[in-house]
């Protein structure tokens, strides 16, 4: 009994001292993996930028399966990491359970903006706004008047991408046809490039000549096939223009890196509550660099920038699929 | 609604999707016919995909990639053989271990070699198996003006990578080897009654190793097809469960090569349909009629079957009837001619539902090789 008590108190003492010594931030990547060239990689870039600039270090883990979510969260919280950043909507349930148990730890979660817990910062992105902009570019670049959308897992968040995109396409060309496909209904849909390729080929055979991929690792297959077949593609989350220079029209930028960077910089003083990142505060946008300069003409750029500024100042709004689970421009 | 060219495009896609399934299915066929169950097909497929993409990227030659992929897959096969033939371990456990090993090692090795987070660099042309165009085939742009025969020739037959034709050729080859050669006879015998083969003075261990190595070669080709033909690099978990689907196809095919071809093409067809027709709109009346007919057909078929089939198929028929009723009910107010959207989830689950239906009654009993799963121990 005595020994047990002793051991326990030592253990508690150790964890507490560890907590005091290691108030370093932590980040948990979702199943797509840290280097998915997309969402998670963008989160990693933000964390790395913070580490490079401050010389600090951070803890990280890549989840391998669903069961690890809560476990990883608790491990980091027990180890005294603060704040703990999670990349992905799928953390919502686990965080709802874990956060109340660690009131002194700050949590930040990306793509979740409906939790109202005193120590949680929820960061939502207006992906429909960014997707609207790339949709406008797609419609202007398309010669056939048919464009495609390949989503990853069929969830409301991905439908929000597709819906914003479709609205942008229709804004430029009301008669345009939009073919919207989802890869699957399980998390495996984020990692199936072969299926991404086949969906793209199916869309091309239906006349699509620009395809927008919002599908994590599956999107790599979409971009590859688009390049092989000589049509244009649109990347997502991170800037993917460089993957196939001259064949990726643009990328819808979701500045997850900025969100992670800000959370890490704020440290333990992280402001909690729910925040929304849109065009107005630089949360979403489209990528223009040397790899796609020849694809985006100055008229196309002017049209998109005009729309961006009217969305930013509130004179125009893009319908958000998740508001009412309907989309005026496309049916899923 | 569906014109001839669309049908061809779907069949074309079916062929691409069926190719890796077919190769892996035949790999499983050789192995299981010799009495070695192989759950590790998925792992071998993934490992071969990684190694072929990595070697093709380093050497710039797709042939080196293919050879290296086959080599890696054979190595894993030999590991499976060592554990389950020589050491007489449990074949299922060894297979599962190979799957885990491949899933982890590929990503770690790719990260170590290329530092791109568990993927390999994109392959340039020459590092990939390019689609072969047959002579006089029309290009995709002029396809719509071509005649039906020309469309069939250019869309479906031409334009695949070399490995697709190789995969199709392995079917008659496997059939010939298994049923027309002495080696094949012995191989089948070793999966049914290894003691008899042993009594005849033929090495059971040698035959079983030969079978798993053949399986390794076929998995290697399949992996190379995924990574260097369909895609231009390796990405984490890119085999996406195809090894397991191939196993299902193998049971479906009752461990026979030509049936395997049919089963894999059917699976490929359903996957292609799911890719091409994600939102099918049908008038409610036709949908409920189709469902009703399916339900009645199932019920009348099941009437003459034994108890288990009655439960499975009868349950399914009931389910279909309930869905038909729900369809009618949902359009009660808007009228029976209004359009109903078939949910994509339904289309995506078709291959799996089909497997259950077919296995439960239509192909008859699928009997695995008798000695499958048991290590052979010589009597003393």
Segment B144-162, tens digit of pLDDT: 777 788 888 888 888 899 9
A70 — pLDDT class (breaks 50, 70, 90) = very high
Q: Do B279 and A34 touch (CB under 8 A)?
A: no
Nearest to A64 by CA among A191, A193, A152, A222: A191
pLDDT at B114: 87
Cα A158 from chain centroid? 10
What average pLDDT is seen over chain A? 89
Neighbours of B85 (CB within 10 A): 25
Say yes or no to pLDDT of B67 above 70.
Answer: yes
Q: Do B345 and A41 touch (CB under 8 A)?
A: no
State how far the Cα of B232 lies from the Cα of A228, in Å rounded to an integer: 10
Architecture of A2-125+258-277 per CATH? 3-Layer(aba) Sandwich (3.40)
Say yes or no to pLDDT of A4 above 60.
Answer: no
State how far the Cα of B88 lies from the Cα of B376, in Å rounded to an integer: 7
Say yes or no to pLDDT of B1 above 60.
Answer: no
Q: Do B275 and A198 touch (CB under 8 A)?
A: yes
Q: What is the CATH number that goes with domain B4-276?
A: 1.10.3470
Mean pLDDT of B362-375: 79
Q: Do A193 and B275 touch (CB under 8 A)?
A: no
Q: Which residues of A134-153 are buried (b: 16+ CB within 10 A; e: fewer)?
A: bbbbbbbbbeeebbbbbbbb
Edge-to-edge, what's the strand order for the sheet holding A210-214? A177-184, A146-153, A210-214, A232-237, A248-254, A284-286
Residue among A33, A221, A224 whose CB faces B117 most closely: A33
State how far the Cα of A306 lies from the Cα of A304, in Å rounded to an integer: 5
Nearest to A65 by CA among A30, A26, A38: A30
Give the residue, B222 or A17, on which the prediction is more confident.
Answer: B222
Alpha helices, DSSP H, located in chain B: 4-33, 41-59, 62-81, 91-114, 148-151, 162-180, 182-192, 194-199, 204-225, 242-252, 257-276, 284-302, 307-330, 344-357
Q: Do B275 and A195 touch (CB under 8 A)?
A: yes
Q: What's the pLDDT tens digit per position in B28-52?
A: 999 999 999 999 999 999 999 999 9
Q: Judging by beta carbons within 10 Å of its beta carbon (0-12, 13-18, 19+), is residue A315 exposed, middle or buried?
A: exposed
Percent of chain A with pLDDT over 90: 70
Q: Which residues have CB under 8 Å from B198's CB, separation 6+?
A: B204, B376, B378
Contacts of B275 in chain A (CB under 8 A): 181, 195, 198-199, 202
Q: Do A41 and B117 touch (CB under 8 A)?
A: yes
Give the residue, A64 or A132, on which the prediction is more confident.
Answer: A132
Say yes or no to pLDDT of A196 above 90.
Answer: yes
Cα B8 from chain centroid? 21
Domain boundaries, chain A: 2-125+258-277, 127-254+297-324
B360 — pLDDT class (breaks 50, 70, 90) = low
**Residue A329 carries which DSSP code?**
S
Q: Which residues of B188-217 are buried (b: 16+ CB within 10 A; e: fewer)?
A: bbbbeebeebbeeeeebeebbbbbbbbbbb
Q: Do A197 and B117 touch (CB under 8 A)?
A: no
pLDDT at B284: 75
Contacts of A41 in chain B (CB under 8 A): 117
Interface A-B: count of C-beta contacts within 8 A: 83
Give the residue, B36 or B360, on which the prediction is more confident.
Answer: B36
Q: Do A35 and B17 touch (CB under 8 A)?
A: no
User: Can you name the CATH fold of A127-254+297-324?
Assistant: Rossmann fold (3.40.50)
Q: Do B275 and A188 touch (CB under 8 A)?
A: no
Neighbours of B295 (CB within 10 A): 20
Q: What's the pLDDT tens digit per position in B96-119?
A: 999 999 999 998 899 889 877 778
Q: What's the pLDDT tens digit per position in A311-322?
A: 999 999 999 998
Here the tokens at position A83 are 């704040």
State how far the Cα of B377 lies from the Cα of B375, in Å rounded to an integer: 6
Residue among B13, B235, B278 whose CB faces A217 most closely: B235
Nearest to A126 by CA among A113, A108, A107: A113
Say yes or no to pLDDT of A19 above 50.
Answer: no
- Calculate how close chain B gets to A217, using CA atoms only, in Å: 8
Is residue A90 within a helix (H) or strand (E), and if so which, with residue range? none
Contacts of B118 in chain A (CB under 8 A): 33, 35
> Facing residues of A121 across strands?
A108, A273
Give the residue, A35 or B198, on which the prediction is more confident.
Answer: B198
pLDDT at B59: 93
Yes or no: say if A22 and A79 are a contact pair by the CB < 8 Å rule. Answer: yes
Residues of A near B (CB-CB distance < 8 A)? 33-37, 41, 154, 180-182, 184-185, 188, 191-195, 197-199, 201-202, 205, 217, 220-221, 224, 228, 243, 331-332
Which of A36, A198, A222 is most worth mutating to test chain B (most B CB atoms within 10 A of its CB)? A198
State how far the Cα of A195 lies from the Cα of A213, in Å rounded to an integer: 12
A5 — pLDDT class (breaks 50, 70, 90) = low
HSE at residue A12, side-chain half, CA atoms within 13 A, is: 6
Contacts of B240 in chain A (CB under 8 A): 188, 191-192, 194-195
Residue among A154, A198, A332 whose CB faces B17 most closely: A198
pLDDT at A21: 47
Mean pLDDT of A10-20: 47
Neighbours of B254 (CB within 10 A): 16
Say yes or no to pLDDT of A15 above 70.
Answer: no
pLDDT at B140: 67
Q: Which residue on chain B is closest to A153 by alpha carbon?
A: B345
Q: Do A221 and B278 touch (CB under 8 A)?
A: no
Q: Which residues of A185-207 are buried (b: 16+ CB within 10 A; e: fewer)?
A: eebbbbbbbbbbbbbbbbbbbee
Say yes or no to pLDDT of B347 above 90.
Answer: no
Q: Do A198 and B278 touch (CB under 8 A)?
A: no
């Amino acid at each position: 009994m005595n020994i047990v008590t002793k051991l326990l108190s030592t253990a508690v003492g150790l964890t507490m001292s560890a907590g005091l010594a290691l108030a370093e931030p932590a980040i948990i990547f979702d199943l797509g993996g840290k280097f998915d060239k997309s969402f998670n990689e963008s989160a990693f870039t933000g964390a790395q930028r913070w580490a490079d600039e401050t010389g600090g270090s951070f803890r990280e883990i890549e989840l391998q399966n669903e069961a690890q979510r809560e476990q990883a969260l608790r491990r980091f919280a027990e180890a005294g990491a603060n704040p703990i950043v999670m990349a992905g909507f799928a953390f919502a349930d686990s965080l709802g359970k874990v956060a109340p148990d660690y009131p002194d730890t700050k949590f930040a979660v990306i793509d979740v903006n409906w939790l109202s817990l005193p120590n949680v910062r929820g960061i939502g992105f207006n992906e429909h706004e960014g997707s609207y902009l790339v949709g406008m570019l797609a419609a202007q670049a398309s010669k056939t008047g048919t464009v495609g959308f390949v989503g990853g897992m069929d969830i409301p968040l991905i439908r929000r991408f597709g819906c914003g995109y479709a609205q942008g396409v229709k804004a430029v060309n009301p008669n345009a046809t939009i073919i919207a496909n989802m890869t699957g209904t399980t998390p495996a849909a984020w990692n199936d490039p072969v299926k991404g390729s086949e969906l793209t080929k199916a869309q091309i055979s239906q006349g699509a000549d620009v395809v927008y991929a919002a599908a994590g690792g599956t999107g790599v297959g979409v971009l590859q096939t688009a390049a092989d077949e000589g049509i244009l593609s649109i990347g997502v989350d991170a800037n993917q223009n460089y993957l196939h220079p001259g064949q990726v029209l643009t990328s819808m930028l979701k500045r997850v890196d900025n969100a992670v960077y800000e959370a890490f910089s704020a440290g333990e003083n992280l402001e909690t509550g729910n925040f929304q990142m849109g065009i107005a505060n630089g949360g979403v946008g489209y990528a223009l660099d040397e790899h796609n300069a020849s694809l985006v003409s100055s008229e196309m750029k002017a049209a998109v920038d005009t729309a961006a500024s009217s969305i930013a100042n509130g004179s125009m709004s893009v319908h958000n699929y998740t508001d009412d689970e309907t989309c005026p421009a496309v049916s899923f | 609604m569906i014109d001839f060219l669309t049908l061809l495009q779907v069949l074309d896609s079916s062929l691409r999707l069926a190719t890796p399934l077919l190769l892996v299915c035949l790999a499983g066929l050789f192995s299981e016919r010799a009495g070695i169950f192989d759950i590790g097909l998925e792992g071998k497929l993934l490992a071969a995909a990684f190694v072929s993409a990595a070697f093709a990227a380093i050497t710039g030659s797709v042939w080196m990639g293919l050879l290296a992929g086959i080599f890696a897959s054979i190595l894993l096969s030999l590991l499976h053989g060592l554990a389950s033939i020589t050491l007489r371990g449990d074949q299922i456990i060894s297979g599962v271990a190979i799957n885990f090993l491949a899933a982890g090692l590929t990503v770690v090795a790719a990260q170590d070699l290329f530092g791109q987070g568990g993927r390999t660099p994109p392959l340039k042309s020459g590092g990939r198996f390019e689609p072969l165009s047959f002579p006089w085939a029309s290009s995709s742009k002029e396809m719509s003006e071509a005649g039906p025969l020309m469309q069939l020739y250019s869309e479906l037959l031409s334009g695949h990578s070399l490995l697709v034709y190789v995969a199709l050729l392995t079917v008659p080859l496997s059939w010939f080897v298994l049923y027309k050669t002495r080696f094949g006879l012995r191989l089948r015998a070793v999966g049914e009654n290894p003691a008899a083969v042993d009594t005849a003075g033929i090495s059971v261990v040698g035959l079983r190793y030969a079978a798993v190595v053949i399986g390794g070669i076929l998995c290697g080709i399949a992996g190379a097809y995924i990574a260097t033909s369909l895609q231009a690099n390796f990405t984490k978990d890119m085999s996406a469960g195809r090894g397991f689907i191939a196993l299902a196809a193998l049971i479906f095919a009752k461990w026979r090569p030509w049936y395997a071809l049919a089963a894999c093409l059917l699976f490929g067809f359903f996957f292609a349909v799911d890719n091409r027709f994600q939102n099918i709109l049908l008038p409610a009346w036709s949908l409920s009629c189709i469902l009703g007919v399916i339900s009645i057909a199932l019920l009348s078929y099941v009437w003459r079957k034994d108890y288990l089939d009655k439960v499975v198929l009868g349950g399914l028929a009931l389910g279909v009837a309930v869905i038909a009723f729900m369809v009618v009910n949902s359009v009660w107010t808007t009228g029976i001619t209004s359009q109903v959207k078939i949910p994509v989830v339904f289309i995506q689950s078709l291959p799996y539902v089909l497997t259950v239906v077919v296995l439960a009654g239509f192909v008859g009993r699928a009997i695995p090789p008798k000695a499958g799963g048991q290590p052979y121990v010589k009597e003393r």
